[in-house]
Amino acid sequence: MKVDEQVALRSDHSCELCKAKENLKLFEVPPQDGISADTCIMACAKCLAQIEKKEELDSKHWVCLTESMWSEVPAVQVTAWRMLNRLRGESWAQDNLDMMYLSDEHLAWAKITGDHENDASVDLHKDCNGQQLQSGDSVVLIKSLDVKGSTLNAKLGTVVKNIRIVADNTEQIEGRVEGQLIVILTKYVRKQ
């Protein structure tokens, strides 16, 4: 039986964190040496987006950890511990962390990514108005921009379609202006 089938059966075809039944996906809890049912969880789209820091944390959604942190599945325990640490500013999350027990081996696994040292803030690509930008969006330039290393001047009001976000820098996106791929600062664009 494949790992995804094992995890789906174990989870009763629901998210192992919040019990949602829709938009489920197998998530390999990092870091991984090899994939197995003990190192993966079944998670819904909302949980995954927040685990992977693609969406801001919704503390009301994560109250579900009060129940799922008691799972016997190591990957669920590690994920619950990491998320509770990211939410440790909430009194209920801190209370749960104080009650939670992980074996030394699982605690080492939970700490290895350093995610527990982060707070609940998420770095997202946002335009000048604070709207979240994602790859494929269209934006409008709010300022004329000179493109370094080129004679190109991207004019105010230019529409840049099908942008790509720069993964390691939340202040930059990439887009084509007059056929040339350029890097644009997010503070100079408005989502269309």
Same structural domain, 73 and 151: no
Q: Within a domain: residue 30? A: yes
Q: Within a domain: residue 183? A: yes
Q: Is 186 helix (H, G, I), strand (E, B) or coil?
A: helix
Same structural domain, 143 and 185: yes
Q: Within a domain: residue 55? A: yes
> What is the pLDDT at residue 100?
95
Residue found by looking up tokens 């600062």 in the block: 185
Count of beta carbons in the 10 Å neighbourhood of residue 56 = 12
Q: Within a domain: residue 127? A: no
Read off the tokens for 41. 């969880």
> What is the pLDDT at residue 119?
60
Q: Within a domain: residue 130? A: no
Same structural domain, 23 and 72: yes
- Structural domains of the chain, count: 2
Q: Which residue has the higher pLDDT, 38 or 118?
A: 38
CA distance 166 to 139: 15
Same structural domain, 78 and 156: no
CA distance 189 to 160: 9
> What is the pLDDT at residue 121?
60
What is the band of 115 on the pLDDT scale with cuts at 50, 70, 90? confident
Q: Within a domain: residue 7? A: yes
CA distance 101 to 108: 12
Q: Which domain holds residue 166?
A: 139-191
> What is the pLDDT at residue 134?
87
Read off the tokens for 130. 């604070």
Same structural domain, 83 and 9: yes
Same structural domain, 98 and 164: no
Residue found by looking up tokens 């004679």 in the block: 151
CA distance 80 to 89: 15
The residue out of 83, 117, 151 marking a domain boundary is 117
> Within 13 Å of residue 77, how many CA atoms lie on the same side as its CB?
17
